[in-house]
Structures are given as structure tokens and as C-alpha cells.
Structure 1
């Protein structure tokens, strides 16, 4: 039991560092739980509990540094929440096979497009908010909230990319805003897992503590090192999500 907790907490810390910087931490934290023999449905719920605590901490740290654009995300949060609830409900009714194929294509596009366009997200090109881009941002928040509740892999990458493509934010501000929305969708899913008793608190609480620490380290690194650190990790995690989906598909 002690060895299992050591593995979970160590990998959870690493996952949170990566996730705070560029998303994709679930590629590390969820397999850590499965590795020590936690059943899949309990692993999903326990991982969601720990990841929610970590993403909340990242959101607070980014907010304190002034990197979160509250005048935008305040509109997006309710749409993300509604989308996540609808996604979590719909997963019980709809086959996710088509979605997994579509996401594979999209996440590959995001990773390769970002890699090819050398200056994308390296500096801020934000021109301000207007009714048009706010509405578009809310629609994306609704769609990505739904996706996170329904399926999940790559949500952080899609959120960061949408903030850069739609609003011209740099990678650090895009990552900061994405953590706020990611926490929102995580929290909605967490409520459903908790309602159905799918969280192992004896594992989830120590894992959450290490992931909170990891999220703090990752967030501070992102703030201090800027887009030069965030962009390559973002590309790496996007392509790793794509490889994971290819592996699952094959």
C-alpha cells in the first residue's frame, strides 16, 4: 500500500507540473492509478478528484499573477459548466467511437499547426473584446465543456489553442485562462463521480496534495519562463494525446 501511494503521488506530482504548464497531465496521473490496480471507474473518479484540486490551485496562482482575463472567462464559465454536465449525461447514451476518431484528427492538427507556425502564441496579439468574439468564445466554452464531460483527452490543448486562435493571447495567458475553464468542467464531472461513489478518498486525498504542489511548481515555471517553456511542452503533450488515441484505436 505504501509503495502504491508513493507511485501514485510521485506520478501525480509530475502530471500536475505538466498539466499546469500546457495541459495533458491526465496522460500520467490516470495510468498511475491503473498501474497499481485501481479499477477503471474508480480510477477515473479518483483522478478527477485530485486533478480538480490541482486545477483549482493553478487557477488561483495564475489569477494572483494577473494572467487570467476575467472579463472574458466570467462569460465562459457558465457555458463550460452547462456543457460539462450535458457531456457527462450524454456519455451514457451515445457511442464515443466516432468522437474518438474526430478528436484524433483535431488534436494532430493542433499539435502540427502549432509546431509549424513558429511565432504562434509567442507574444500577445490580443486586440480587445467585442460582442462577436465573446459569443464565439462562449460557444467554444460550451463545446469544450461538453467534450470534457463526454470524452476528455486533449481538453487542455483545445482550450489553450482556442484562446490563442480566437483572441490572440500568448501561451501563458491562454494556459491561465484554460485552467479556469478546465477546473469548471472538472468540477462538474467530479460532482457526478462523487454522487455515484466513484472516488477512493484514501488514495485521492494524498494524491491531491501532491498534485496541488505539482500544480504550483508548474504554474510558477510557466509564469517565470513564459511562452518559450509553454509552447514546446504544449506541442509535446498534444502529440502524446494523439499517440494515446491511436494506440487505443488500434
Structure 2
């Protein structure tokens, strides 16, 4: 591991904390952490691997915090966790073979649809209507978890937001959806770290300090979400989705 200068260290700590704080609640933390790592001069694929290594520390922290709160549906997550893990592993291998740019236009369209639905359906996600899934819906949820896991390992931005959106569609309120989405996101993150590490695509000198800051950010973000409730999560979800759309459109232009 190389030694970092003080300026780079402070830079990684600050943006790591901010990324994990946001990500622990509504996803979209990669919108902050990946550009920060690219700004330091890391090549794109190495930045993705390094980001996943740091992010898994934060996602584990928020995952544990939400599990302790009782907001995670253990039965549902036992079915979906392995699928998100497997999808992410395949995504890591695919990212070396395909240009990530081919996904960006589709992602922008999907995020705009999610945003508009969230804004105009004002009472959506305020109450928990989840009572379980039929066999058909469970199969669909499995395919979505696998697909979003693949996307998270392959590209990443918006994966947590899409996971949260899918759980809202299943009937969870915003807080319950956030808790279970963090569980699926933890699965895809830890899978990506294992395989990025296997391929030698992680810079641990950058990942470790950023990851430590992400632990603190994730704990603060998840704790605040549990204290503030649905009224806090919904506007933050809308705000981060809007920013994420703007960033991806800017990249396309």
C-alpha cells in the first residue's frame, strides 16, 4: 500500500462520509464516490473496484443498523440476497468486456420514470402495505434482484435507488424499502469486492480510508432515517434521483 498525502486523505474521508450518508438511505452514493476517485487520477475500472471495496464497509454498517431496527424482512431477503450476489459477480466480469456507456441512455429513461411516479403519487410509500409475495411475484422479484445486482457490478449509479423503487412497488413504505434495499445492495457490493479483488482491480491505499469514512457516514445516515421516518426518506429519494438523472444526462451530452 502506498502512503497518501494529507490533502488526498482528507479528500477521500470527506467524500466517503458524504457518499455513505446518502447511500445508506436512498442509494446514489456512487454518484459522489466514483467521481471523487476518478478525480484522484485512478483509471475508470480501477476506480469502480476501489469504490466497491470502500462502499461495502458502509453498506455493511447500514445493513446491520437496519437489521437491528427490525425493518428488514428476513424471509424475503434470504430468497433475494443470493440472486443479487450472483448477478453482481457476473456484472464485474462483464464490465471488462463491454463499454458501460451503452447502458446510460436506458438508465436515464428509467430514472425519469421512477422520479415522476414518486412525485405525482404523493401518498406512495407513506404506509406499509406489504403482506408477502405470491409465487409469481417472488419469481419476478428474483429476476429484478439478479438484474439489478448485475447492473451494480457492471456500472452502478442508481442501483440502490432502483432496488428501493422495486420494494416500494411490492408494498413497503419508504423506510422499509430503504432497509431491505440496503440488504440487497450489501449483497451486490460484497460480491463485487470479491471479484474485483480477484481480478486485481482495487487500490487498497484509497479504498481503506474512504471505507472507514463510509462506516461513519452509513451509521449516521441509517440512524437519522430511522429517527426521522418516511417523511425524511421520501424527499431525499426524490432529490438524489433528480441529481443522478442530471449527472447521467450531463455525461451523455
TM-score (norm 1): 0.95
Q: Distance in 1 between matches of 2:190 and 2:218?
A: 16
Deviation at 1:203, TM superposition (A): 2.1
Q: Distance in 1 between matches of 2:102 and 2:203?
A: 31
What per-residue deviation string (whole Å, max 9, x for no partner) do you get for residues 156-208 of structure 1?
1100000011x210111101111111111111111122112222222211211
Question: Structure 2 regions of 5+ residues with no counterpart?
Answer: none
- The question of 1:211 aligning with 2:214 is answered yes
Alignment match, 2:122: 118
Deviation at 1:95, TM superposition (A): 4.3
SS at match of 1:63: helix
Alignment match, 2:89: 85
- The question of 1:6 aligning with 2:16 is answered no
- The question of 1:232 aligning with 2:235 is answered yes
Deviation at 1:248, TM superposition (A): 1.2
Alignment match, 1:75: 79
- The question of 1:23 aligning with 2:35 is answered no
SS at match of 2:124: coil
TM-score (norm 2): 0.94
Alignment match, 1:99: 103
Q: Is the 8 A contact 2:30 2:156 kept in 1?
A: no
Cα distance change of structure 1 residues 59 and 194 upon mapping to structure 2, 3 Å threshold: same
Q: Distance in 1 between matches of 2:99 and 2:41?
A: 26
- The question of 1:242 aligning with 2:245 is answered yes
Alignment match, 2:173: 170
Q: Distance in 2 between matches of 1:2 and 1:205?
A: 15
Q: Distance in 2 between matches of 1:35 and 1:147?
A: 23
Alignment match, 1:61: 65
Query: Which of the residues 206, 222, 226 maps onto 1:223?
Result: 226
SS at match of 1:189: helix
- Name which of structure 1's ranges 175-184 and 37-46 shifts more when overlaid on structure 2: 37-46
Q: Distance in 2 between matches of 1:10 and 1:191?
A: 25
Q: Distance in 1 between matches of 2:236 and 2:38?
A: 24
Deviation at 1:112, TM superposition (A): 1.6
- The question of 1:136 aligning with 2:109 is answered no
- The question of 1:109 aligning with 2:108 is answered no
Cα distance change of structure 1 residues 97 and 36 upon mapping to structure 2, 3 Å threshold: closer
Q: Distance in 2 between matches of 1:188 and 1:177?
A: 17
Aligned pairs, number = 249
Q: Is the 8 A contact 1:112 1:235 kept in 2?
A: no
- The question of 1:127 aligning with 2:131 is answered yes
SS at match of 1:78: helix
Question: Structure 1 regions of 5+ residues with no counterpart?
Answer: none
